């Protein structure tokens, strides 16, 4: 059964053709409605066919993927972004739990992305991920970005500026928020360290990743301790001490 009706948007003809063939060969739930090579043509096709999924290249002539999305008052279709580079965008995708593929497209990852879109549409959360992504792209270097925290029974939407710190728990992470709430996310601390280090987060210990904006005190105890704005004290490892103090010009 064709549960997904899609449009492919990419300025490279070879990329459009190969992706279309991959969908025929490996994604039987996807029906291809059309292909576009630029954002003007893409806008017309989307308005005409009303797809529930688009494969969207990031960089195109006369505008990029986000220029296209800004033309819609409401995004009521799922998106799988396709990119060859643009590391800042990949970080924004991960924070918002949006779907993306790196070029050249890997077949297994394509199948996985399509299956995730199907699951998101059943849970009616795919469009929210895109809205969060757009906000994050607009403020890519801002602490006002939002993050989608994947939970066992869904997800939670949180502003990065409200995150105090994260605590590793095997392959899960406990995320502590300024309002006193905490969430157990289905991600590793290493994942969040890689995604958030450019947003003012610093790993002070193998167990702790903190938002530097919420640090209120450092104590030269044994071991040294970092006090957060909720009064919680977290251990600072000796190997991280020098780099931590340099953050505060000490």
Task: Please tell me whether residues 131 and 21 are part of one structural domain.
Answer: yes
Task: Please tell me whether residues 152 and 125 are part of one structural domain.
Answer: no
Beta strand segments in the chain, E:
4-9, 30-36, 53-57, 59-60, 63-64, 78-83, 99-102, 146-151, 154-159, 163-169, 172-177, 182-185, 201-203, 208-211, 215-219, 225-228, 233-235
Domain boundary among 122, 138, 154: 138
Q: What is the mean pLDDT of residues 38-65?
A: 88
Report the residue count for the chain. Answer: 250
Task: Please tell me whether residues 92 and 157 are part of one structural domain.
Answer: no
Task: Please tell me whether residues 159 and 203 are part of one structural domain.
Answer: yes
Task: Please tell me whether residues 151 and 85 are part of one structural domain.
Answer: no
Domain boundary among 75, 105, 138: 138
Least confident of 11-15, 138-142, 157-161, 164-168: 138-142
Provide the number of structural domains found in the chain. Answer: 2
Residue range 61-77, pLDDT digits in tens: 777 787 888 888 888 88
Task: Please tell me whether residues 21 and 62 are part of one structural domain.
Answer: yes
Task: Please tell me whether residues 129 and 153 are part of one structural domain.
Answer: no
Q: What is the pTM of this model?
A: 0.58
- Which residue, among 147, 144, 141, has the nearest Cα to 97 in the 3D structure? 147
Six-digit token pair at 94? 């991960």
pLDDT at 199: 80
Q: Is pLDDT of 140 > 60?
A: no
**Contact predicate 33/61, CB 8 Å:** no
Task: Please tell me whether residues 8 and 132 are part of one structural domain.
Answer: yes
Q: Is pLDDT of 141 > 50?
A: no
Task: Please tell me whether residues 117 and 176 are part of one structural domain.
Answer: no
- Which range marks the domain in which residue 118 is found? 4-138
Task: Please tell me whether residues 131 and 161 are part of one structural domain.
Answer: no
Six-digit token pair at 77? 């279709």
- Could you tell me the CATH number of the domain that includes residue 125? 3.40.50.2300
- Could you tell me the CATH number of the domain that includes residue 188? 2.40.50.1020
Task: Please tell me whether residues 124 and 158 are part of one structural domain.
Answer: no
Residue range 74-116, pLDDT digits in tens: 888 888 988 876 565 566 666 666 788 888 899 999 999 999 8
**DSSP labels for 74-122?**
S--SEEEEEESS-HHHHHHHHHHT-EEEESSPPHHHHHHHHHHHHHHHH
Task: Please tell me whether residues 128 and 152 are part of one structural domain.
Answer: no
Domain boundary among 107, 138, 169: 138
């Amino acid at each position: 059964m064709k549960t997904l009706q899609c449009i492919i948007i990419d300025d490279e003809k070879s990329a459009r053709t190969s992706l279309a063939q991959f969908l025929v060969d490996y994604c039987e739930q996807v029906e291809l409605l059309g292909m576009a090579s630029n954002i003007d043509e893409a806008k017309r096709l989307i308005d005409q066919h009303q797809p529930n999924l688009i494969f969207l290249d990031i960089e195109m002539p006369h505008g990029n993927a986000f220029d296209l999305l800004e033309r819609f008052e409401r995004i009521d279709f799922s998106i799988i972004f396709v990119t060859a580079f643009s590391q800042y965008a990949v970080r924004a995708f991960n924070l918002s739990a949006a779907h993306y593929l790196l070029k050249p497209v890997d077949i297994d990852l394509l199948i996985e992305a399509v299956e995730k879109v199907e699951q998101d549409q059943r849970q009616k959360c795919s469009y929210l991920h895109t809205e969060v992504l757009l906000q994050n792209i607009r403020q890519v270097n801002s602490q006002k970005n939002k993050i989608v925290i994947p939970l066992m029974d869904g997800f939670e939407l949180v502003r990065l500026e409200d995150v105090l710190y994260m605590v590793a728990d095997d392959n899960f992470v406990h995320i502590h928020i300024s309002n006193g709430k905490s969430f157990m996310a289905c991600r590793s601390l290493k994942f969040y360290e890689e995604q958030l280090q450019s947003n003012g987060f610093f790993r002070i210990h193998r167990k702790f990743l903190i938002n530097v904006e919420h640090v209120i005190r450092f104590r030269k105890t044994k071991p040294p301790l970092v006090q957060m704005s909720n009064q919680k004290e977290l251990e600072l490892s000796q190997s991280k001490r020098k780099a931590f103090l340099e953050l505060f010009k000490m």
